[in-house]
Amino acid sequence: MGVVEHEALSEETRAAIREAFARGAAEQQFWDEHWSKLLEQYEGQFVAVSDGQVVAHDPTLDRLLEALKEKHLEPPERSSVRFIRPPDEILML
């Protein structure tokens, strides 16, 4: 029995979990399908996506998060953020 089907969870909670998983899968599909174009346009920048569209980008995470806050698109509830870099490049923070 998976977590979503566990009898201790209410149907409302199970539905919310299924919806969250579906949103996550759709979000990952967007990044996968558009990665090449995003890499071409925004390499070296943080990019935020909401509802399948780029809503902000900036080389610094702090400025990107501030822009998202002003637009009421704070992650992770309203947008997702990724740093755009070639897949073979190592990023050390």
Provide the pLDDT for residue 92. 65
Q: Please report, in angstroms and rounded to a whole number, the separation of the first and last CA atoms in the chain.
A: 39
The number of beta carbons lying within 10 Å of the beta carbon of residue 65 is 19
pLDDT tens column, 5-27: 667 888 898 888 888 888 888 88
Residue recorded with tokens 């900036």? 58
pLDDT surpassing 60 at residue 50: yes
Collapsed DSSP state (helix, strand, coil) of residue 55:
strand
Whether 91 maps to a domain, the answer reads no
Tell me whether residue 68 is in a domain. yes
- pLDDT tens readout for residues 62-89: 999 999 999 999 888 889 999 998 877 6
Q: Tell whether 90 is covered by a domain.
A: no
pTM, full prediction: 0.76
Domain extent, residue 48, equals 3-83
Q: Please state the rounded mean pLDDT for residues 36-45.
A: 95
User: Does 92 map to a domain?
Assistant: no
Check whether 1 has a pLDDT greater than 60: no
Is it the case that residue 60 has pLDDT exceeding 90? yes
Rounded average pLDDT over 36-46: 95
- The answer to whether position 77 is within a domain reads yes
pLDDT of residue 4: 61
Structural domains counted in the chain = 1
